[in-house]
Each structure stands twice: as C-alpha cells, then as structure tokens.
Structure 1
Amino acid sequence: MDIKPKDVAISFPFPYQPYSIQEDFMAALYRVLESGKIGIFESPTGTGKSLSLICGALTWLKDFEEKKKREESEALAGANKEMNRNERTPDTFVHRSVEQLTSSLEPDWITQFVQKKEERDMVDRLKEEQIKRKKREARLEEIRHNVQLKYAAKRKRNEDDETERLLKLSKQMLASDSLETSDPLEQGEEELILAEYESDEEKKKGHGLEEEDEDDFEEDHVTKIYYCSRTHSQLAQFVHEVQKSPFGKDTRLISLGSRQNLCVNDEVRNLGAVQLINDRCTEMQKNKHEKSEEPEGKKKKGDSRAVCPFYSYEQMQLLRDEALVEVKDIEQLVTLGKGMKACPYYGSRFAIPPAQVVVLPYQMLLHDSTRKASGIKLKDQVVIIDEAHNLIDTITCIYSSQVNGSQLCQAYSQLLQYMERYRKRLKAKNLMYVKQILFVLERFACVLGGDIKQNPNFQMISEAGTKLQSINDFLFQSQIDNINLFKVQRYCVKSMISRKMFGFVERYGGTAAVTTNKESQKMAGFHSFLQGLNHKASGEAIADARPEEVFENVQPRMASPLMLIEGFLSALTSTNQDGRVIINRQGTVGMSSLKFLLLNPAVHFAEVLKECRSVIIAGGTMQPVSDFKQQLLLAAGVGKERVAEFSCGHVIPPENILPIVICSGPSNQQLEFTYQKRDLPEMMDETGRILVNLCNVVPGGLVCFFASYEYEKQVFGHWERTGLLKRLALKKKIFQEPKRANQVEQVLAEYSKCIKRCIQAGGIQTGALLFSVVGGKMSEGINFSDDLGRCIVMVGMPYPNIKSPELQEKMSYLDKTMPKTDGQLPGKILIENLCMKAVNQSIGRAIRHRGDYASIVLLDNRYSRPAIYKKLPEWIRSSTQIKTAFGPAFASIRKFFQEKKSQSTPGLS
C-alpha cells in the first residue's frame, strides 16, 4: 500500500521552512504511526530525512500522549455523570405491573444493583488509572525513582539462598573428605571453580517464580520511540539533529551503546576485545554485589577480587537523571560519567523506562537476548530502523556463526586441562555438562576429518570441499543428536564456563607453576600446544602482509574460543528449515570450518513486529523493496494490508542530475561486463577510452566504481601495460581506495586537497580520479558532495558470486518458500536485488544537497533492460537517459557540464 502524501493535515514543528517532500514524509509517517502499521520509507540522502523522522515521530508521540490523557479524562467524567444520573432517577420498580415482574427473569433491584456496581467499578478503575498516570508523570517530571526495594528484596533472597547452600555444603563436607584430599587452591584460584549449577526447572521448584516478584518493583515504561541505526557515528549525528530540532529541550532521550563504547574504567577498556571487556565488567559487578552482601566480620582476609569504582548505584541514578534532563550523545554521556564517577553503561539502562526516545545500534535491538538483557521492552512501542538497506544481511549475520578446527581443538584442550585440574572440586552436574561439551567438540572435529587430540595445523584433509547440510542431518552425522543442545547452551550461559576458561588460560597458559609435577607436565604441554596454534594462525596472516600492515593485523587478544563455540551451539538450536550447516574442509583441520547459515531472517524479526505498535524501516536508498516485503514482513506473518510504502524524490531540480546508461564505447564495442566478457582486452580498452573522454569534460572529482578489488587490479595492470593509465593521469591525479580502513580518511583528505588545488590553480589537471570498489569503504557512508563527485561511473553490474554455496542455498530456499513474481523465481530476483542495492548505494554518493549537481554514468548494456532499469531509485530513474551509442551519450554529458559552468555554480563547499 502506497501512502498518499497529503492524507494527514498536521502542523509539524520544524527548525526552518521544510521542503514539500519533507512535509509529505512527516504526514505519511504520522499516519503510519497512528494506524499502527509497518512502513517502508525512502528519502534520498540530502533531503533532510533525519529531521523529518524526528519532527514527524515526536509530533505524533506528543499528540498520542495528549490524546490518551484527554480520553481518560472524558471517560472518567462521562462515567461520573452517568452514575449521578442513575442515582437521581426515581425507582420505577413500583410502577411495573405484576405481569412485567413475573415475566422478568430476575428482579429489577438486582439488575439496578449490578448496573450501579459496574458503573462504580468502572469509575474506580478510571480513577485508579488517572492516579497512576499522575504519579508516573510526577515521577518523570522529577526524573527520580527509587528501586532500592528491588535490590533489597533480591539481596534478601540471595542471602537466604546462600545460607541454605552453605548449610548443604557443610553437610556434604562432613559426610565426605573429598575436599580435604584435594590439593589446596592458590590465592584467587577459587574464582576459576564452576559454581554449583541448578537448571531453571530446579530453581522454579525451589524458589517459585522469582520473575513475578521482581516485576512488582519495575517502573512502568512510557510510550517511547526506539531509534536504531547501523553505527555509533550515525546515531551521534541523529542525536545532534534532535538537539537542533524544536523538540531538543523537551524530549527525554537516552543513548545506549556497548561496554566498549560506554565503559569509563581504563583497566577494563584496555582489554581491547569486546568479549573480554564484557566478561571483566560482569565479573567486577558480581564481585561488588558479593562483597556488599557479605557480613563485615565474615569477609575473607586478603580478598583481592577487583570491583569497579564506577559501579555505584547512587551515582548511576544521578547520572541517569542528568542524562534525561538534556539530550546527550554517547561522547557526552561518557564525559558525564567520568566527571560523576558513574558508569554510563548501566546508568543509561536505568534511564530506559522514563525515556521518550531511546537511541541504539540496531544490532542491540535485533538480537533477542541482547535486547532483553538491556531492559528493552517493545510491547506497544514504536521502532524506527534507519539506514535499513542492509537490514536482512544484518539479521542474517547476527544469527549466523562460524568456528574453525583450530578453535575446536584449542577449546577442547583448555576444557580438558581444566577438568583434570579441578575434577575433585566440581559437582557431579558440572562434570556431566563439561564431559558433554568435550564430546561435542570431539565430534565436531571428527566431522572436519580430524582428531581433536592432535595439532589441527598438521592434520591434512584427505577430501577437501564444501558441503551443506540441514541442522538435523548435521546433528546425526556428528552423532550428537541424543544430546539436548538447549540444556548445554543454557548451561554455558548460566555457568559462564567460557569466562572460567579464559581465566584459567590467563593464569596457567604461561609459565605459572602448578601444584604437582604431573600437572606441570600437562600444563607445559598444553601451553606449548596453544602457542603452536597461535603462532601458526598469526604467522600465516603476517607472512603475506606488507611491513606496514603487520601492526594492523595484530588483533586484540581473543577470549576463550569456547565463546565462539557457544554461539555455534546456540545457532544449532534453530528450527531445522530455518538454517543450514556448511562444512568447509580446506587443506588442514585447522583451516577447515563449520558455519551456521541463517536462511530465514523473518523468524527473528517476527517478535519485533509482533510486539511493537508500529515499525518504520527507513533509508536513503531502499529500492528494490521487494526483499524487505517478502523476506522480512510477509514471511513473518504480516498481512499485506499492514505494510505501507512511501518514497519521495530529491530536493534538487531535475536539471541538476544527469543519469545516463551507455551501451557501447567509442569504438562501438558493446559494453557487457559479464563474467565471461569482462576480462577481454577490448572490453578493458573500451572502458579506458570512455574514462579518458569523461576526464576531458568532467570538472573536479570523478569517482569510478569497479565490481571487485580483483577486477580493479586486473584492469589497472592492463592499463599500465597499454599506457592508458598515463593518459588518464595527464588530466586528473589518480587515487585508489585503500583496503585498510585506517587509511580511508587520509586518502579522502588528499583527494579533496588535490581537487581544491586544481580548481583554484587551473592548468592541465582538472581535478582527481578516484577508483573505488562496490561494497568497499567508499561505497557507503562517504559523501562525495559538490566538486568531490561531479561524476560517478559504475563499471558493469556487481552481481554476487553465483557459485557461492551460501548464495545457492539461499536461492534454493527462497524458490521453495516464496511465490514467483512476474513469472520470475525468487532466487533470480534475489540476485538482481543484491546487485541493484549495491549499485544504488554507490551512485547515491554524489548528490548531497539542494544546490549540488552531478552526472551518473552506468557502463553496461544490461542497465537498459526494464527489469533492471525499474530497480533504480525513482528520483534517478525519472531522469535517466539510455544511449545505445557513445557519441550521443558523450555529447549529453559535455553539454550538461558546459551549462553548469556557464551558471557559475559554487565549487567545493
């Protein structure tokens, strides 16, 4: 369903006079939110999409809250009036005839009594709701609420549980001398021992439903908007737009982020790896609670367990209050936390219930366990997912998982050594689960064709290749179908066994002495084995690297590989038809891998759609939208009538853009960069001639996109041999997109300086030519505005690798589960959509504001096909010219830039 732009006549507060397309956008957004639908919104970058989202959504939220208050007041007033009227009405009971009385099924006085009771009950309910609302508003106005009762009650329960556990332990110690015969633990080593494990069923039998008790102390969540985007920089930009908007002073907004972004404890931040930061933070928080709950006289002497000085309940409450008083981004929140000696990570979570807008990365919202752990409740709330063009890929990646042979063997060795050292101290249930995990790891290595007890880097694979299996088939082949992976996976999470493994390796992975000679030999061999794995893995990466790349390839120390395996085990609990396991045997067992591929992202997006009042999927380039509708919405059970689409044009006048499809080159060579033809010398020569001609007429910057790094390298090599690269360099200085992310800013800065210098100085060179790759660092998030991108050239069509087993399986899955569209199989449509999404993202880099202008040149005959052509964004498609010969195409481009030059359009801004 397309949304008519003028359906809602609402006045939207705006910091300046909005464009007409912004007014249309806000009106359409308001209607979707009001009707509780799912909206797919497209607004090209440079059209003020963020401000339109802010002003449209917050206007609706304000009206929605006022409407709720008004309806409650009216309902209460009406109920009071009706009750008073009934009380004043004379009793007609005495005027009824005998026949009427006897024919009635029940006496009138009973009917009247029931009626009045219902009226009073309704009034009481409305009054109760109004009182609740007033209390909540007062709480929000003061931005203060006290949940210490929750922690007090929880602490009391924990103390009772701990007392019971200690009594039970004392009895066991009296009945058995097993602990006395064990070797004494070293200082701090007790933290490595797995705690006694209770399953969820046992906890419920022993303690009842604790969740119900805890809910009594939770604050009600107000109606709010969850705004999600891909990166922290995009979220910070959105927050800055809110600050500048008319809602900046009156909106309670909180920004959420990972510990890596919000942690202010330098000791923890310096760990580097995300998982290590998470685990260390959790451990210090646990130590804080345990120390505070221990009686002063019973605290252990020399207890060196570290606690975080920033994890202070009182200070975090103050930080929450400060954060909600004035809109702040992540950096401002971190600065506030440092100044107040309070943790921004936990303080921001305390602010979720009273906040009106919650800003967060969309990985945090889309991952079910992360969402719940963060305290995010989506029931009847609004979710806006911005920059959503990669939403399907993001969900697929979040729930996919991969482990290699080296990680399996490393985890097995760590866990085996751990079990051998602490066997006498582990409870039976812990030993049972540890042995199950060891068996699972052993079987996984077997599937890869190796022995878990040998060095995987020296075990050669006899039959290399890639094989895809259903989850059930993989479990049968692995011979672990009789193991309850749900219980094993929950045990891993609850027992935090991977964190114990990391601490164990940290303590004994080096030269630390262990109690017995026998154990010393085991640990020495264990350490040597792990060192061999690490050196082999890092050596291969560094051997092929250039000297300047070596430092960049040194990754932060990784936590226990068991953490990655936990993710793989969790993936294997998915429904059989929703995913596939890819067994990839290559060279050695260490290089081989097991990967879970999610085929049905809708199964994880369905809960978001089900819980929320409304979901908005927005982006600058959402075409083609059929993927979103079929794979995410309709597949999740959303009816077509609940899906609404809105797409607006650009703010630039039509004469400021020249999209053109060139089907043939200067020597009449037809341009078709298929896999079979693109490597032909004549095709590469023709591409070079086109670029030389364009460099003669395009001022400033020209950005040329290739389908892959490999093809770019091949074309460059050919041009160097033929001398064409020198001809290009005479007109424009040549730059190449770097493969390393940390060099992108430097290349862009030099590219920008070169263009500015050439425009100011004049001379032979007219600017710069930047070669980029579709899907690379420059194809998303980089603005080639004004003279940085006067012309965007797309060489060929960047189709994905059709031979990829993952892609073939995805196509097969769609062909089996989705209906045909216009006679085309869904798998074929997927390939075209992936290609055109990449194209649309790349060519949208040029036009960034109303006064900008640029030409977009598509070099491939296939762009003229209707099925491909219609998948361009409407604002580009409506102005696109298709030229079968190069002469007329070049004449149009030359005329376009001559007219712009005569109009003296400002240059680099």
Structure 2
Amino acid sequence: MDLNLDMDKELQDFHHPFTPYKIQLQFMQALYGCLEDGKVAVFESPTGKCATLIPSTSPLVVCFGSDSGCRYRDDDEPEWMIEFAKRDSRRTIAEKRQQFESRLAKIKQDEERLKQAQDSQERPRKKQPAAKSKSAPNDDEQFVLDDYDSETDERQKASQSAGVDGLSASTLALLEKYKGQFTSKKPEQDEEDDSVKIFYCSRTHSQLSQFAGELRRVAFPSSIPGDPEAEGKDDLSKLEERVKHLSLGSRKNLCINPKVQALGNSTAINERCLDLQQPGVAAEKKCSFLPSKDDEALMLEFRDHALATVKDIEDIGKVGQQVGICPYYASRSVIKHSEIVTLPYPLLLQRSAREALNLSVKGHVVIIDEAHNLMDAIAGIHSVSVSLSQLETAMSQLTTYARKFKTRLKGKNRSYLAQVIRLVGSIAGHLRGIAQQKGGAPEGSVQFSDLMAGKGVDQINPYKLSRYLQESKLARKVDGYVESESSQEAQGQGQGQVSRTRDRTTVPVLFHIQSFLLPLMNPSEEGRLFYQKGQDGVLLKYMLLDPTNHFREIVEDARAVILAGGTMSPVSLAGYFAITDLGRTIATLCQVIPDGVVAFFPSYDYLSQVVNVWKKPIPNGNGQTTFGLIEKKKKIMYESREAVTTTDTLLQEYTEAIESGSGALLLSVVGGKLSEGINFSDKLGRGVFIIGLPFPNIRSAVWQAKIKYIEEKTYKQHSGSELEKKARASAAGKDFYENACMRAVNQCIGRAIRHVNDYAAIVMIDRRYETPRIQGKLPGWIRGSLVSAATATARPAQMTVQRLSKFFAEKS
C-alpha cells in the first residue's frame, strides 16, 4: 500500500529549538524529503549538524512513531471511513500510551527529586547469591572440548553460519540473496516493532553524548493526531509524550561487574562475560547482574528509567547500577520501545554486533554522522593483523593443550585441533622465512598460497575449519586452561611470583589468532595480505580494500540512509617552499591574523623537520631564528608523535595563551590528534594553514594494492576498447588516491568555522590547490570563497597578506 502523507504543516514546522536560518530550513526540508521518499542521501554541513538533523527527523517520529492513523491511507475508501478509523485508532493508541507515559512521567519526577536532594542512598539492588563456604575444586574437565560432529545436520549448520563475520563479503551477499526463500514460516513480530525507528550512528561516544544533549532541547509534539471533536471532553487530546531515546554501547562501556570491568580490554571483557555464563561455572562465580527469567520486574524498571528522560551512555550505565541489573543485556529489550537509538560505528556496521543486540534496521531510518570516516571505519573493523611472536605463542599454547588432553579429545576435535596447529605453524613458518631474509623490502604483499604451503595444510577444508573455530569454543577452552595453569604455578612459587600470571587486561593471544584465521579461511576479492618488518619483528596484515559490500546490506534493509558530515567532498610535501621561506611566510601571515592560528602539516616527520630547521639561525640573519621571528607575534606550540604533552594539556596551554591576548600558533598534523573532533571556534581559530597536500605513501605495498584493486574493478565494469578501459581504470585509481588526501584536508579546514557568526582565514599553501581537479574536491562552502593568490605580476604571499589585512579590518 502506498504511503500518502498529509504533512504540509510539519514540513514547515520542524520544532527547531531556535529560529532556523534559511539554509538550515532548506537542509531540514531536503533531509525530511529523503526520509519520506526512502532515499540514500549525503548531506554536508560544516557545523550545527546535530541541531539540524534532530528537527529534520521530528516529523518522522511524530507521524511514523506509532500506529497513529496517519501512517496508511487508502484513496479508494470514503473520507468518513478514514476519519472514523483515525478517531478509533487514536483513542485505542492514546489509551495504551497514556498509562505508559504516566509511568515515565512519574519516574522522571522521581529522578529530578533525587537529583535535587542529592540523595546518596543506594536503590534496592538485585539480591546477590550467597557465597558457598567452600570453593569448587579445580577440575581440568571444564577445559575439555565438547563433542563436535561437523557432519550432523549439515544444512542447519550452514544456515547458522551465514550470519557470522568470518565469511567473506561476497559469500555473505550470496547467502543473503537466497535467505528466507526456502521457508514459509513467518516470524512473530513484537507489537512495538511496527514503528519506524531512527538509528543515529557516530564515531565516538562523546559525539553521541553531544547528540543526546541536543535532543533534550527539542520539544516533540504528540504522535497522536489531533481530534477537534474530542478537545475538552477528555485528557487524551492533551497527552504529553516524551521522545523515547536509547543509547547503546558495548560491554566495555556498560559492564557494571567490577571484576570484569577491571580487565579494561574489550576482548577480555567480552570473553570473561561469556565465560561467567557457561553452564559449568560455580554459582558464586557467575555474574550476579545478568538478567534471568525471574527479573521481569527489574527489566521493566530498567526500561522505564532508560526512557523516562534522554540519557547518554554513562546515564544508561548508572541506571543499571541503580536497578541492579546488567545494562548491556537489559538494553536489548528496550530497543523495540524506543523511537531514536544512538550507537557507535562498530555496533551498527558489524553484522555480528547487530545480531548480538537483536537489532535490525529493516524498514527503519539510519543516520550516520561523521560519515567521511565511514568507509575507513568499515575497512578497519574487518581488517586484522598478527605478529610472528603471537603466532609462536599460540603454537605453544595449542600444542601444550593438545598434549594435556590428547586422551580426552575425541573424533572431530582431535582432527580439527591438529588442523589448527598445522595452519598456525605454516603461517608462522612463512613469516619466519621473511624475518630471516637479509636486505629484503620492509614491506610487501603475501599470497594466500604462501601461507598454506605447510605439510598437510592443503588438505584443510577452509569452510569447515572456520565453522569449527566459531562453534567449538576452542580459543576459550585453551585460554582458560593456560590461565589456570599460570595461576597454579604462580601460587606454588609464592606471592612474590604472582606477577608472572598472564595480564588479563590484554587480548588473549588465541582469540587474536582466531580473528585473523577467520578472514584467512574465507579470502575475498576485496581483501589482500601484507607483511611489515619492524623493530618488534614481522607483522602480517589482512586488509579489506573495498568495504562497500559490508555496507550494502544496511542500505538495502533500511527505509532511508542519511550520510552527514562537515566535509563530505572527496573525499610528502611537494617542494614548492624551502622550509625557511615557509617559516617567513607564516610569520608574515601571523602578523595580520589575530588571536589563534592552527597550521596543519602532512606528517609528524615533516613537522619535526620543520621545527628543527626553524630553531636554527637563519643564514645572514644575525643569529635570528625563524622560530623566534614567529614568536614575536604568537607563541608556538606543536604536537608530536611521542606525545610528551597530552592533547588536553596542549589545548589548555593554547587556550590560555589566546585568552591572555598574546595569541598562539598551534602546529598540528593532518590526520593527527588535533585534525578531527576538536573545534577551534572563534578566537581559537581565526586562521587555518594547510601546508601541502598530505598524500599517502603511494609506494607502500598497501596503497599499491588498493590502487591496483580499484583499477582492476573499474576495468572490468566498463566496456569499450582496450585503450579506453585502461584509461578509465588509471583515472579511477588516481581519483581514489586524491580523494583519500582531500578528505583529510577537508577535515582540517572544517575545524575553524563552527557557527553562523564565526569567521576565519583559511590559507592553503601549495601550488596544486590552484588546479581545478584539486579545487573540485574541496567542500562547496569553501569553493565559493576561494581567492587565488597567484598572478603573473604580484608575489602570492604579499597579495595574500594585503587581502587578509582588509578581511580582518572589516571584522573588527
């Protein structure tokens, strides 16, 4: 049935917390149109995205947030039937919601009252299980693998494995294509799942917390359609609704078990959490916060507190502590009652994470903020590396485990364990050969067949071994046994030797090896293998070169997908400046730009080189240094790879220097700690210098492989003569390489302009910024303000200084 919305009024009223500017209104209308039409759209805005994105979605929450009668409309039915159906639906929904909203309102009042009174009294907690007087004896039986039969119910096993991340993107896409075509059973749906939800995703929890803060400022109207005839007759027309927002996070963010939380590392926390849920774990060792069938009342209490007010991830954790129930697991049941769900990249972009949360984007809206990071984030999630030392440690642990339990390993377990040992040994042997090569390249590509060259490895069935690694819990059993043995050894040698026990804050090595073996067992056309030699030995990397297939299933399932960012445009320094000339130019520019200036360099190495040269006396300069020349006007601060000074301390010193009136110049690196996520608004960023074009190292094996992949893919996709296909492929590779550079540049540019009254001078110091090709990859709001400094008769630096002097004189 077609959706026919009568939303003219809402399109004009987005309930913005302030009077929106014309461009913001255009942004909101365009965005809502994309949501209504179910499109995939890209929105670029240098600042204020949160405050604009939220009102843009408010009509969607209002209209689709419930079965309110405005959702469906059939033009064939008479108007009086439609009105009757709306009125009847309105009353039914309103009565159901009134009780829920009243309960949430009461909880909100309670929370505000507790906050005002600053009552430190703890809420009643879930009853803790009584500790047994005597701990269970140590028994190696808990580390024995369960019987495993890979031939039993093969079809069911294959179906189950279709949802794991170990399979390649192309395999997953094929399985997804045919999924559900051979079953007639229709899954039951929760009555709350009919509403359209908005999944808002960003890179960090701090950015999601900012979104939650903006969400608190927006007043959403009731989703129950108005009924003039009912006004004054009952309270349903005055039903006050609150936006139902939920923040999702990982176990690391939400775990409230002190012993598990103390592990620190995400993988260690995840595995310890799962370990505590195993059937053989003694009652006193199980996690007391884990929800059970008897905790329905606590689950409802958690849900109501989570939805009573807009809470960020830290608030959700506190709710779990107050109620006495695990917020990570309790949050899952709250998703279906929510209207807006915020979550970080990994929880949305990784299929296994979505399945663990029982989260589906089918028919819902997905908004991805900071979307310039999207493809890199997906590639990072599905890329993994392993060192030779880790492989050797894993070999030692596996062989020790195999010797210990050789008489208790039966059937398939013995066979598959031997296969894992042979495979890990084969990979380690190849890396050992690379490490022993003298005079070889520091990095290079690795063929899949090279890693499988060990004795008997060619007989391994990759698909079956992948399934075994995920279903047998081999890594967990081996790691548990190793930890148990280490603990007993430490205790036997006395308290002075306890430090020899393995540090549980690190990722267990076998889990790390397994995460590498899974993509290795299912190599895809989008992935490549590389080695890198360093002081710490040899590193083997599996890198995903094309993340599009992993994002495709989200796009295909979602009702609409919005990609938003400050700079969504495509996304070694060329020797046009001697370093001392660069210093003189910057010193001159700092004379006319007030307050704070941030300069971005292409790399830490180049920045370090520049600083060292600037600190040396200028030839024929009577002992004057470039550093001193600049500091006559602005104090110089700079970041370094070694991080001697923390970012917070550096920013504090920079801010204090500007507030004191002396001004400051902050030297930063493109892609470094200060190039993204930090705002240099107002006086903190009256000038931004982009020094050169930060192209990646095109000679590296990784970038060679990336460009080659793009060229081969483009070549296959196009028809025509051989010459035309090669030309297009070469152009696509060049474009891909330039886009990587310009995405980084655009992020730096966007650090300064943070609100409508803000202003700054952005100076791009490199002749290549004059070329139309590079200018075409700048954000639209920058291209419209470009002023060329290069002329045939004037010196560029001198002309730039004159224009800057006039620009800031007009602003003062």
Aligned residue identity for 2:145: L
Flag the 1:244–1:478 CA change in 2: closer, same or farther, 3 A: farther
- Deviation at residue 60 of structure 1 after TM alignment: 2.2
Equivalent of 1:615 in 548, 561, 576: 561
Question: Residues 90-169 of structure 1: matches in 2 within 5 Å?
Answer: none
Query: Does 1:739 find its partner at 2:641?
Result: yes
Counterpart in the other structure of 2:464: 487
Counterpart position of 2:287 = 307
Task: Give the match for residue 122 of structure 2.
Answer: none
Name the residue aligned to 1:655.
Answer: none
Equivalent of 1:331 in 314, 320, 325:
314
Residue in 2 aligned with 1:244? 217
2:23 matched to which residue of 1?
21
Letter in 2 for 1:445: A
- Number of residue pairs matched by the alignment: 703
- 8 A Cα contact 1:12 1:55, kept in partner: yes
> 1: CA distance between counterparts of 2:455 and 2:567?
44
Q: Deviations over 1:753-789 (max 9, x none)?
A: 01111x2xxxxxx411111111100110111111111
Partner of residue 260 from structure 2, selected from 261, 268, 283: 268
What's 1:783 paired with? 679
2:688 counterpart of 1:792? yes
Inter-CA distance 872–733: structure 2 relative to 1 (3 Å threshold): same
- Aligned partner of 2:167 in structure 1 is none
Aligned residue number for residue 419 of structure 2:
436
After TM superposition, the structure 1 stretch with the greater mean CA deviation from structure 2, 887-896 or 226-235, is 887-896
1:153-192 equivalent positions in 2, closer than 5 A: 187=138, 189-192=140-143
- Per-residue CA deviation, residues 669-693 of structure 1 (Å, 9 max, x unaligned), is xxx942xx37xxx711110110111
Q: What's the RMSD between the two structures over aligned residues? A: 4.0
> How far is 1:247 from its partner?
2.8
The aligned counterpart of 1:181 is none
Q: After superposition, where does 1:438-477 map in structure 2 within 5 Å?
A: 438-449=421-432, 460-461=436-437, 464-465=440-441, 466-469=443-446, 471=448, 475=452
TM-score (norm 2): 0.78
Is 1:317–2:290 an aligned residue pair? Answer: no
**Change over 3 Å in CA distance of 1:142–1:869 after alignment to 2:** same
Q: 2:208 pairs with 223, 229, 235, which one? A: 235
The letter for the 1-side match of 2:692 is G
Measured in 1, the distance between the counterparts of 2:359 and 2:156 equals 28
The aligned residue for residue 285 of structure 1 is 277
Partners of 1:323 and 1:385 in 2: CA distance: 23
Deviation (angstroms), 1:583: 3.6
Residue type at the aligned position of 2:457: I
Q: Secondary structure at the match of 1:448?
A: helix
Pairs within 5 Å for 1:571-650: 571-574=519-522, 576-584=524-532, 591-624=537-570
Specify which of 506, 517, 530 is matched with residue 569 of structure 1. 517
d(CA) in 2 for partners of 1:697 and 1:407?
55
Q: CA separation in 1, counterparts of 2:437 and 2:57?
A: 57
Over 3 Å counting, the alpha-carbon distance change for 1:237 and 1:188 in structure 2 is farther
Deviations 1:257-302 (A, max 9, x none): 1111111111111111111111111222345xx78xxxxxxxxxx8
Alignment partners' CA distance in 2, 1:514 and 1:531? 10
What is the aligned counterpart of 2:506 among 550, 558, 561? 558
Task: For residue 468 of structure 1, report the CA deviation from its aligned partner.
Answer: 2.2
Distance 1:823 1:812, change over 3 A: closer
Q: Is the 8 A contact 2:10 2:59 kept in 1?
A: no
| Cα distance change, pair 73–880 in 1 and its aligned pair in 2 (3 A) | closer
Tell me: CA distance 1:858–1:373, structure 2 relative to 1, closer, same or farther (3 Å): same
1:710 aligns with: 605
Indicate the residue corresponding to 1:900 in structure 2.
808
Q: Whole-Å Cα distance in 2 between the matches of residues 709 and 876 of structure 1?
A: 26
In structure 2, distance between residues paired with 1:860 and 1:884: 11
| Residue 829 (1) aligns with residue 735 (2) | yes
- Residue 502 of structure 1 corresponds to 479
Change (3 A) 1:725 1:81: closer
User: What are the equivalent positions in structure 2 for 1:306-385 lying under 5 Å apart?
Assistant: 306-309=286-289, 311=291, 313-314=295-296, 315-385=298-368
Q: Which amino acid aligns with 2:319?
A: L
How much has 1:430 moved relative to structure 2?
A: 2.0
Distance 1:740 1:499 in 2: 36
Aligned equivalents of 1:350, 1:565: Cα separation in 2: 33
| Partner residue in 2 for 1:180 | none
d(CA) in 1 for partners of 2:452, 2:69: 56
Inter-partner Cα distance in structure 1 for 2:92 and 2:391: 55
Change (3 A) 1:73 1:816: closer
Partner residue in 1 for 2:707: 811
Corresponding residue number in structure 1 for 2:52: 52
Confirm or deny: 8 A CA contact 1:467 1:583 kept in the other structure. yes
**Which whole-Å CA distance do the structure 2 matches of 1:194 and 1:76 have between them?**
63
2:59 corresponds to 1:62: no
Match of residue 693 from structure 1: 588
CA distance in structure 1 between the aligned counterparts of 2:331 and 2:788, rounded to whole angstroms: 53
**3-state SS of 1:881 partner:** coil
Higher mean alpha-carbon deviation, 705-714 vs 480-489, is at 480-489
Q: What is the alpha-carbon distance in structure 2 between the residues aligned to residue 789 and residue 187 of structure 1?
A: 62
Residues of 1 paired with 2:186 and 2:272: CA distance? 26
CA distance in 2, matches of 1:495, 1:132: 50
Contact 1:411 1:560 in 2 (8 A): no
Deviations 1:332-353 (A, max 9, x none): 1112211111211111111111
Distance 1:446 1:868, change over 3 A: same
Q: Letter of the 1:900 partner, please give it.
A: F
Q: Deviations over 1:508-558 (max 9, x none)?
A: 23562899xxxx9xxxxxx99x989x9xxxxxxxxxxxxxxxxxxxx9732
- 1:158 aligns with none
Q: Deviations over 1:147-195 (max 9, x none)?
A: xxxxxxxxxxxxxxxxxxxxxxxxxxxxxxxxxxxxxx95254432323
SS at match of 2:432: coil
What secondary structure is seen at the aligned counterpart in 1 of 2:396? helix
Kindly indicate whether the alpha-carbon contact (under 8 Å) linking 2:69 and 2:89 is maintained by their aligned counterparts in 1. no
Query: What is the letter of the counterpart of residue 54 of structure 1?
Result: I
SS at match of 1:576: coil
Q: 1:308 to 1:804 in 2, by over 3 A?
A: farther
- In the alignment, what sits opposite 1:768? 664
Provide the residue aligned with 1:172 in structure 2.
Answer: none
In 1, Cα distance between equivalents of 2:769 and 2:455: 47
Instruction: Check conservation: 2:604, 2:640, Cα contact below 8 A.
Output: no
Measured after TM superposition, the shift of residue 53 of structure 1 is 1.0
- What SS does the aligned partner of 1:352 have? helix
Supply the distance in 1 between the matched residues of 2:567 and 2:693 (Cα, whole angstroms): 17
Stretches of structure 1 that go unaligned for 5 or more consecutive residues are: 1-5, 83-122, 145-184, 292-301, 451-455, 521-526, 535-554, 626-671, 760-765, 905-909
* Residues 8 and 27 in structure 1, CA contact (< 8 A), matched pair in contact too: no
Deviation, 1:76, is: 11
Q: State the alpha-carbon separation in 2 of the partners of residues 846 and 33 from structure 1.
A: 30
TM-score, normalisation: structure 1: 0.70
Deviation at 1:65, TM superposition (A): 4.9
Structure that is richer in helix per residue: 1
Structure 2: state its 5+ residue gaps. Answer: 1-7, 105-135, 162-179, 222-240, 618-624, 719-724
**Partner SS, residue 403 of structure 1:** strand
Alpha-carbon offset, residue 135 of structure 1 = 11
Asked if structure 1 preserves the Cα contact closer than 8 Å seen for 2:602 and 2:670, the reply is yes
What is the aligned partner in structure 2 of residue 193 from structure 1?
Answer: 144
Is the 1:8–1:31 Cα contact (8 Å) retained in structure 2? no
Once residues 316 and 439 of structure 2 are traced to their aligned partners in structure 1, the CA distance between those partners, rounded to angstroms, is 54
Compared with structure 1, are the counterparts of its residues 68 and 806 closer, same or farther at alpha carbon in structure 2 (3 Å cutoff)? farther
Could you say which residue in structure 1 is the equivalent of 2:130?
none
User: Is the alpha carbon distance of 1:563 and 1:209 closer, same or farther for their aligned partners in structure 2, counting shifts above 3 Å?
Assistant: closer
